[in-house]
Structure 1
Amino acid sequence: MSLPFINRELSWLEFNQRVLNEALRSDLPLLERVKFLAITASNLDEFFQVRVGSLMLLQRSGRKNPDPSGMTPTQQLTAIRRRVQKMVEDQYHLFAEDLTKGLRSAGIRLLSTKGLTPTQYDQVAAAFHDQISPLLTPLAVVAGEEPPLVPALQLIVTCRVKDTETGAIRHVLIPIPDGVARRIPVSEVGDGVAFVLVEDVVALHAEELFPGEDVEATTCFRVTRNGDIAVQEDDASDLAGEMEEVLAARKLSGTVRLELPSSLPRDLAKVIQEVCGATSNETYRFAGPLALAGFMDLAFLPGFDQLRDEDWPSQPSPELAPGDSIFEAISRRDVLLHQPYESFEPVMRLIEEAADDPQVVSIKQVLYRTARQSRIIDALIRAAENGKTVTVLVELKARFDEARNLLRAEELQRAGAQIVYGVKGLKTHAKICLVVRREDGRLRRYVHLGTGNYNESTAKLYTDISLLTCRPEYGSDASLFFNAVTGRSKLLRFQRLVPAPTAMKPRLLELIASEAERARQGEPARILAKVNSLQDPEIIAALYQASKAGVEINLNVRGICCLKTGDARHSKHIRVVSVIDRFLEHARIFYFHQGGDPDIFIASADWMGRNLDRRVELMIPIEDSRARRRLLRILEAFFQDNTQASKILPDGSSERLKAAAGEKKFRAQEHFFKEARRTAKAREHERAMTFEPHVPK
């Protein structure tokens, strides 16, 4: 008998609905709601590029094999279209009927070009001539010829143009380059701000691009192309060169979504569909401006702090005193960071101090996604220039970051770093840095292991866990790890670290089965886990078996959850919640009770087939007693949340949890911030009251 399984793609859409639900909340500050709406639009862009693109390839190949939920590619695409159409209606109703009106009342006005004052019209005209027109390249659509290549995810103004002498009609496309600002500001009475959208400005002045012709009609559209194009590694002798070809191929790949305004002339719609190679199945109509993700910058508009949440600044780790050497701090004991409540600074300090410390002889690191202006990469370049041995595994297959990773890898290589472009056939997603330092005539290894990327920008927005340690077993395992991924040997013989794809899934299945057996013997048995996604069929099957045995299972799954809750036979003892709040939940933490001597891990991997079977990942056991207790408290807090948590329902949708009558409200992220602030202040006070003697060196 097949096990109950929720479709992966529909589960992801329900996650995006939970994000949209935040935008729908009237009790949230206005610009926070705008931010959440923009996030849902950005999420959909990637969903269509990757997931819908992959399904369309399967459909066109004739594949009819069902997924674990029993749905064929065609059935999934049909269900996705129906669900997305409803989501889009909700997005645009919110934008038009709530957010736009709220912004106007707050002094932020989106104007139509039809209602501009003479002064505003002159400002828009000046902006078109000075900032926009020189960057535009009209593309003619000529009957009988190959249609022009339409850039993906760009706004494109389509014009019906009539020759004033001959009366001939033709159509022209005007792509708006990414570098052009979406909002064109105009003067406004009072303290408010006003702006028009760049696509409206281009449409207003399009006739200036076609001397001797009249522009009879204009509309805007946007196309999404398949981004699920893999590197053919079996044939690639030069992975960097192959990746450049993949990036180019994405620009030419098939259309997976065409976005059009709800009302537009039929001839323009037909021309656009023919140019994009889109049918009605790929076409979506929108009752408002396209590309809502482009409104994200409104959330950070200066001068409107009252429309945003109160800032929650990262706090310094209590383990690190001002002026402390990072190596001295780690030597004292393991340092566990809960980001962004605690600052990511210690991780950057490890690499920056290592770059300049004359005692450091080598640095090895995996880079998956980095910041645009990365202090970490700058430090690695400096370390190489300072004569240290620097080895960096740069994952070129980090989707949508490939171009940036290529450029930074070249910079590192020019500085003298040894660059490895990932592992053949796998993505390297592990978060690990190894620093080797000469101390008292011997070599000592310092290791950073974490759940998040080496990206100081997202470290302020994503919740993650970092472990800084110099435990010999972890250092030895780190060396083995880098030897394996750079020397193309097997991920074996580790003392503490648990790698994927070789050992992580078997170890997880063993731990789940162990809890199940303890429950059958009448012992207390408990599993707590926090992951971004839960999809792997073997892990789900094992959790079902554990539930049937009586194991208490609490899962905090932010996004995709293919496990079916509420099934009396299979998931009676499984509870799944999802927390959506101001920070993106990104940490992976696992707890197995093990008869009162629990195993607690952090990991770079979610419980998905792609992570456990097709990526190089790491699961890290936590041995420091204080860190273990802290991680358990973090896990348990999410299951106390009755403010930002949603319960995952049997059909894959979700229901927001609310405090019962008389029950105190509890918000996990707010609790973590206040706890970090309280701990930092207490540590600062303790240091202020303590006299430390000066020790001559």
Structure 2
Amino acid sequence: MSTAPDTPEAEQSAAIDPEQLSPEERYFNREMSWLSFNERVLEEARRASYPLLERMRFLSISGSNLDEFMMIRVAGLAGQVRSGVAEMSLDARTPKQQLAALSARFRELEERQQAALLELLPLLAEQGIHIKGEDRLDEASDAWLRQYFLDHIMPVITPQAIDPAHPFPFVANLGIGALFNLTRNEDGSQLVEMVLIPSALPRFVRIPEEVAGDEAIYVAIERLVVRFADLLFPGFTINGDGVFRVLRDSDIEVEEEAEDLVRYFRSAIQRRRRGQVIMLEIDEGFDAEAEELLRDKLELEQASITKTSGMLGIVGLAEVVEEDRPDLKFPPFSPRYPERVMEHDGDVFAAIHEKDMVIHHPYESFEVVVDFLRQAAADPNVVSIKQSLYRAGQQSSVINALCEAAENGKSVTAVVELKARFDEEQNLKWAGELERSGVQVIYGFIDWKTHAKISMVVRQEDGGYRTYCHFGTGNYHPVTTKIYTDLSYFTADPALGRDAAKLFNFITGYVEPDRLERLAISPLNLRDRLLADIEAEIAFARKGKPATIWWKMNQITEKTVIDKLYEASQAGVQVVIVCRGICCLRPGVPGLSDNITVKSIIGRFLEHGRIYAFGNGQPLPSDKAKVYISSADVMDRNLYRRVEALVPIINDTVHDQVLEQVLLANLLDTEQSWLLDGETGDYERVESEPGLEEDGFNCHEYFMTNPSLSGRGDALKEDRIPKLTLRKGAV
């Protein structure tokens, strides 16, 4: 990998003045880039090499992603249009222009989702799994469903007449309902009735094996309501019907004067459920009269309206994915527990005391993080625990450990972030439970989210105190830790311990650190640290020394950093970025970003860890490189409106793992990778190019079969991990 472009290309690029490029030529639109990401997710649903139910899982995820995109991003743009806000995007588009561009792209993506479902349905049917399944119903199945409807559905649904004498029923966010156009048989009067389907009901009903035999037949709950409408409306003739689904504006903005965050968020969650309708999905065969009434009553001035002959709410397919068919799923994977901890008889603190340790999730068990807190809770030598909580999930052993620690007399402080989108309600619940156990609960800043992932345990040892820290790139969440790739860094480094204490004091007492020894934190100096290290690489390039930057993150949108990377490219710095999702940077533009490559990895696991590496005057990978892990992406919100941590990796073993295993494996991957075209914004799947092996290289499979160096202890003596090497042209 060269450190400067070849002369002919350099001369050609030099003829282009990057300063003359328009914003649209310099940057990709944030929202369009996000839709490109979801297209890559959807393409996994069409990947023939994947097991069928895993393909269905990706289709469901793409549906969930689109729902959130509509409820947050599109709703936000629509709100700006309503309010007359003309704030320009990075690529110089107004909110109205962005909405127009997004609308066509969104509809195209929805159509592709339905096409993917149509592709999967017959393949699943060949395996004995039928979705909707109404064409598969024999007399026995129909009778069972009819009785199921009478026993389990009819008691919890409520038909509501739509007429001047009745207020129009409220349809909740993500709510599904059906409208019926009826004629009363007795007098011929016309009536429209609405039936809303409670969210507590399952999305699909599976006919039991004793009725359906060996086949798995799933019928959507809304289809059952339509199918057995005669039971709901005796004495009426059903002239027409239709199923619909509603999405509402679901963002929560914190008002500056909100002094009591808990009270504010309890009411804000209720307001979210009643937010303005941003999208209405309806059946293609929806009764015309009922549809006109629905459109009128929902006040759809700013809403998108889509009709489909397929399935509404594709996210609901997640229920079908849970079908007990291991032959149609990825082979099960069991994460490894760190050998070094086991060599210390399971004592996490003894293992960390010996040497720093990094754990690579989900290939290595998140249970070691939980054990760190459990042992701290029970250890009589532990005097205090401080913990940040952004997302902890519904079943949280982390919360239980903190409660136990407080009940055991430890000084326990938990920073609970109420503004974690869609987890606000769960976090309020955890905050109450923690407080009841004696934990000091802090809600942090009103304007900034606390997104840093840190645990800090102070333990009395040898007549003094030692601080043990856990720094993570991901959440303390029991579900996501099994599918997100993240890093957990354990250290007893005194300097990092002192910095962690200052970071907690900043969050809990608003005491801005006067000096940090190792950490960089946002919104104070994290961005400046990244800019300074990029500037150092520029200086190396100008001196003719090797100059390289390798980054891995989820999104990159922040203009100042993007512009500095452009400057680095023009100076001859080689920049390779693994960016899973949104990327506003245009790579490979002559004269602007010739030396920048951007790739995205989409596969079995969700790439989530953030790593920032700088060559420091040496070709990467190098023992001299500067390597950081972080909770922060390169976005405005992470650098200016969140509390984040950028953690330097000093320990040699950990440095080797993070740089020469985790990061390098991502760069070498050829089987799950997409390359970004800087001109069009399109991503092209990488076809098996030479990497580690002639047949291509899959970084997820590599880590499943070759667990990481750190934490392996004596196991390395018997089981040497294959060394990754950087081949010319592979990155």
> Alpha-carbon deviation of 1:664?
2.7
Map of 1:608 onto structure 2? 635
Give, in angstroms, the shift of residue 687 of structure 1.
9.3
| C-alpha distance after superposition, 1:133-176 (max 9, x if no partner) | 22213333224865221111022112222222232222222111
Deviations 1:183-206 (A, max 9, x none): 212256552211211111111223
Question: Which of 491, 494, 499 is equivalent to 1:469?
Answer: 491
The verdict on how the C-alpha distance between 1:95 and 1:207 changes in structure 2, with shifts beyond 3 A counting, is: same
Q: Distance in 1 between matches of 2:583 and 2:644?
A: 20
Aligned mate of 1:581, from 603, 610, 632: 603
Question: Structure 1 residue 312 and structure 2 residue 349: aligned?
Answer: no
User: Which amino acid counterpart does residue 208 of structure 1 have in structure 2?
Assistant: L
The corresponding residue for 2:349 is 327
Bigger mean CA deviation after superposition, 600-609 or 486-495: 486-495
Once the two structures are superposed, what CA deviation does each residue of 1:529-556 show, in whole Å capped at 9, x if it has no partner?
0000000011100000000000000000
The alignment's C-alpha RMSD in Å is 2.0
Structure 1 Cα separation of the partners of residues 502 and 625 of structure 2: 26
Q: Distance in 1 between matches of 2:685 and 2:628?
A: 28
Contact 1:148 1:275 in 2 (8 A): no
Matches within 5 A, 1:345-494: 345-494=367-516
Q: Which deviates the most, 663-672 or 582-591?
A: 663-672
Aligned to 2:222: 199
Query: Does the 8 A contact of 2:387 with 2:455 survive in 1?
Result: yes
Superposed displacement of residue 111, structure 1: 4.2
Q: CA deviation at 1:263?
A: 2.7
SS of equivalent to 1:467: strand
Give the structure 2 partner of residue 691 of structure 1: none
Which residue of the partner structure matches residue 221 of structure 1? 244
Q: TM-score, normalised by structure 2?
A: 0.91
DSSP 3-state at the match of 2:339: coil
Matches for 1:119-134 after TM superposition, within 5 Å: 119-134=140-155
2:228 partner amino acid: H
Match of 1:161 among 182, 193, 197: 182
Deviation for aligned residue 1:245: 1.2
Change (3 A) 1:214 1:677: farther
**Letter in structure 2 aligned against 1:203:** V
Alignment of 1:553-572 (within 5 A): 553-572=575-594
Percentage of pairs with the same residue = 37
State the shift of 1:118 in Å.
1.7
Aligned-partner Cα distance in 1 for 2:67–2:229: 28
Q: For 1:315, what is the secondary structure of its paired residue?
A: coil
- Residue in 2 aligned with 1:654? 683
Name the SS of the counterpart of 1:283 in structure 2. strand
Deviation digits for residues 102-142 of structure 1, max 9, x if unmatched?
A: 11000011245466222111111121122212221333322
What SS class does the counterpart of residue 122 from structure 1 fall into? helix
1:211 CA displacement = 4.2
Structure 1 residues 595-604 or 163-172, which shifts more? 163-172
Query: Does structure 1 conserve the Cα–Cα contact (< 8 Å) formed by 2:358 and 2:710?
Result: no
Q: Per-residue deviation at 1:470?
A: 0.8
Cα pair 1:515 1:546 within 8 Å, conserved: yes
Q: Which amino acid aligns with 2:120?
A: L
Measured after TM superposition, the shift of residue 655 of structure 1 is 0.1
1:23 matched residue in structure 2: 45
Q: What is residue 659 of structure 2 aligned with on the other side?
A: 632
Structure 1 Cα separation of the partners of residues 361 and 689 of structure 2: 30
Mean CA deviation greater in 584-593 or 205-214? 205-214
Q: Does 1:642 align with 2:663?
A: no
The answer to whether 1:149 aligns with 2:180 is no
Instruction: Identify the match of residue 500 of structure 1 among 507, 522, 532.
Output: 522
1-structure distance, mates of 2:233, 2:34: 45
Q: Structure 1 residue 319: deviation in Å?
A: 2.7
Q: Which amino acid aligns with 1:454?
A: Y
Amino acid at match of 1:45: D
The residue identity in structure 1 corresponding to 2:706 is E
Contact 1:554 1:576 (C-alpha < 8 Å) held by counterparts: yes
8 Å contact kept, 2:280–2:303: no
Q: Any gaps of 5 or more consecutive residues in structure 2?
A: 1-19, 619-623, 720-731
1:55 equivalent in structure 2: 77
2:96 to 42, 55, 74: 74
The equivalent position to 2:63 in structure 1, one of 23, 41, 46, is 41
Q: What secondary structure, in the 3-state scheme, does the structure 1 residue paired with 2:340 have?
A: coil
Give the whole-Å Cα distance in 2 for the aligned partners of 1:638 and 1:252.
Answer: 43
Alignment of 1:535-554 (within 5 A): 535-554=557-576
C-alpha displacement of 1:515 = 0.7
Conserved? CA contact 1:498–1:504, under 8 Å: yes
CA displacement, residues 355-391 of structure 1 (integer Å, 9 cap, x when unaligned): 1111111111010001211000011111111111111
Within the candidate set 696, 709, 716, 1:665 is matched to 696
Aligned partners of 2:105 and 2:451: how far apart in 1? 31
CA contact (8 A) 1:444 1:470 kept: yes
**Match status 1:209 vs 2:232:** yes
Match of 2:644 in 1: 617
Residue 100 (str. 1) matches residue 121 (str. 2): yes
Residue from 222, 233, 253 that aligns with 1:230:
253
- Tell me the distance in 1 between the aligned counterparts of 2:259 and 2:301: 38
Task: Write the distance in 2 (CA, Å) between the matches of 1:316 and 1:69.
Answer: 46
Greater displacement, 183-192 / 87-96: 183-192
Please report how far the alpha carbon of residue 320 of structure 1 lies from its aligned counterpart in structure 2 after TM superposition: 1.7
Give the direction of change, closer, same or farther, for the CA distance of 1:414–1:496 in structure 2 (3 Å limit): same
Native 8 Å contact 1:127 1:184 kept in 2: no
CA apart distance, 1:269: 1.9
Larger displacement relative to structure 2 (615-624 or 68-77): 68-77
Contact 1:151 1:175 in 2 (8 A): no
Measure, in 1, the Cα distance between the counterparts of 2:713 and 2:87: 59
Return the TM-score normalized by structure 1: 0.95
Q: Paired residue for 1:301?
A: 323
Q: Which AA in structure 1 matches 2:290? A: L
* CA displacement at 1:90 relative to structure 2: 1.0
- Alpha-carbon spacing, 1:444–1:316, altered in 2? closer, same or farther (3 Å): same
Q: 1:599 aligns with which of 626, 633, 636?
A: 626
> Residues 491 and 499 of structure 1 are in contact (CA less than 8 Å); yes or no, is this contact kept in structure 2?
no
